[in-house]
Structure 1
Amino acid sequence: MSEESRHRHNAVLIVGAPGAGKGTQGKVLGTVPRFFHCACGDVFRSLDTRTELGQQFVAYSSKGELVPDELTVDLWSVQIDNWIDTSRYKPDIDILVLDGIPRNVRQAEILEDHVVVHRVIHLTCPNREELARRMRKRSLKEGRYDDASDEVIAQRIETYEEETKPLIEFYDGKVADIDATKQPIEVLSDMIAELVNMDVYKDMANVIV
């Protein structure tokens, strides 16, 4: 393992448009030995609002404002430390599966002080109609009927593409495109086949615990 990796958390990043199955695949991957799923949404939901950082988060979220990138990463870092303290996440043998963070290049730049991103799994779904169908189905299933409109779905896809293209370019050379239109088990198989070939995974897989 490189000296660089010893001082920062080893990580892989999953990116994909809404409806591409990013969250589902991330959760399943997190059940595979040596991988620990870290969804940004879980970080915010587990936030202690009595802390100083928690109060800062509430100050923005209660007004419907975007949380600044620096604060987002700070909140993430605190939760990672909590998971380490409770032994849920073991950085010496676990690879972080980042889901929902970083969302943009600025967050990626800040995160470089905390993690070494070894691979970016890009769940691709070039068929916009299929993507819209999945998003509509999920919104209706969760009772978010306003989110099922064509206008809202088109806007979410456009926003995702605007944010993600620069992020993919930022991680140039580390990106693996995975076809998200396949059956979920096939998508997972393609992801695992890509990740188990990483040197950092091979190093950790040989650790006896």
Structure 2
Amino acid sequence: MADRYSTVLLFGAPGVGKGTQGNILGSIPNLFHLSSGDMFRMLDVDSELGQVFYEYSSRGELVPDDITVQFWQQNIHAHTVLGLYKPASDLLILDGIPRNPKQAQQLNEYIEVQKVIHLKCENENAMIQRMRQRALKENRIDDAREDIISRRWEVYRRQTRPTLEYYPPHLIEEVNAMDSPAKVLSNILQMIIPVMNSLSAC
């Protein structure tokens, strides 16, 4: 198998703060953050792929696996060609992908998962309120609808949560997502820094 990208996955239910933490981590040298949500939001809504994405996301459903992985490949290749992501020295931080065990299996060809950071929250109601407030603040009215948010949680429970079982338990670290963002970041860094050090030593 060709060299794979050294990767840390940010994993968790909708609203736990994967994107927030990923964006902060991506500002740190030798960490490169790629979010599936940002990836798809950059799509031209008039393009064929953009229309497919809108069709699924407007229902709170996941984009089909083959399309998601293909688009992810295109994005990571583009970032590499542009020099924004340097696989030889950068640790890849992924959030929002893989979203089910099949995607995890497909991505295994391209990524070598060093850690899975599980941002854990048992309080679904608190997360739903957080998602609704964030969507309203960002003027994403459709995303603030409770039926769409509830659908996203249902999809997470049914399709995404089982993805954790794909990875060996020793790779999975749990972080309390209800702590302050600063505390969550501190806990994540404690888990990621040893991985970064091991890569730089290679």
Pick aligned residue for 2:110 from 111, 114, 117: 114
1:189 aligns with 2:181: no
1:24, 1:16 → 2: CA distance? Answer: 12
Q: 1:179 matched to which residue of 2? A: 176
Aligned to 2:198: 203
Q: CA deviation at 1:145?
A: 4.0
- The aligned residue for residue 60 of structure 1 is 52
TM-score normalised by the chain length of structure 2:
0.85
Distance 1:139 1:46 in 2: 17
**Structure 2 unaligned regions, length at least 5:** 57-61
**Structure 1 stretches of 5 or more lacking a match?**
none
DSSP 3-state at the match of 1:158: helix
Q: Which residue of 2 aligns with 1:34?
A: 30
Mapped partners of 2:146, 2:82: distance in 1 = 44
Residue type of the alignment partner of 1:178: V
Q: Deviation of residue 183 (structure 1)?
A: 0.5
Asked if structure 2 preserves the Cα contact closer than 8 Å seen for 1:38 and 1:99, the reply is yes
CA-to-partner distance for each residue in 1:97-156, whole Å, 9 max, x for gaps?
011111111111110111111111111111122212211211221234454444443332
Q: How many residues align?
A: 196
Q: Counterparts in 2 of 1:11-160, with a 5 A limit?
A: 11-46=7-42, 55=48, 57-58=49-50, 60-61=52-53, 64-65=55-56, 67-160=63-156
Q: Any idea what SS the aligned residue of 1:121 has?
A: strand
The secondary structure found in structure 1 opposite 2:79 is helix
**2: CA distance, partners of 1:88 / 1:104:** 27
Larger Rg, first or second structure (1 or 2): 1
Q: Residue 197 of structure 1: SS of its match in structure 2? A: helix
Aligned match of 2:59: none
Q: Partner amino acid for 1:161?
A: R
1:58/1:33 CA distance change after superposition, 3 Å: closer
In 2, Cα distance between equivalents of 1:156 and 1:47:
20
CA RMSD of aligned residues (A): 2.4
Do 2:40 and 2:50's aligned partners in 1 also have CA atoms closer than 8 Å?
no
Q: Cα 1:196–1:103, aligned 2, differ >3 Å: closer, same or farther? A: same
Say if 2:7 and 2:93, in contact at 8 Å, map to a contact too: yes
**Separation in structure 1 between the aligned mates of residue 75 and residue 147 of structure 2, nearest angstrom:** 35
Secondary structure at 1:12's aligned position in 2? strand
* 1:41 to 1:154, Cα distance in 2 relative to 1, 3 A: closer
The structural deviation recorded for 1:20 is 0.8
| % identical aligned pairs | 40
> Structure 2 CA distance, aligned partners of 1:156 and 1:42?
17
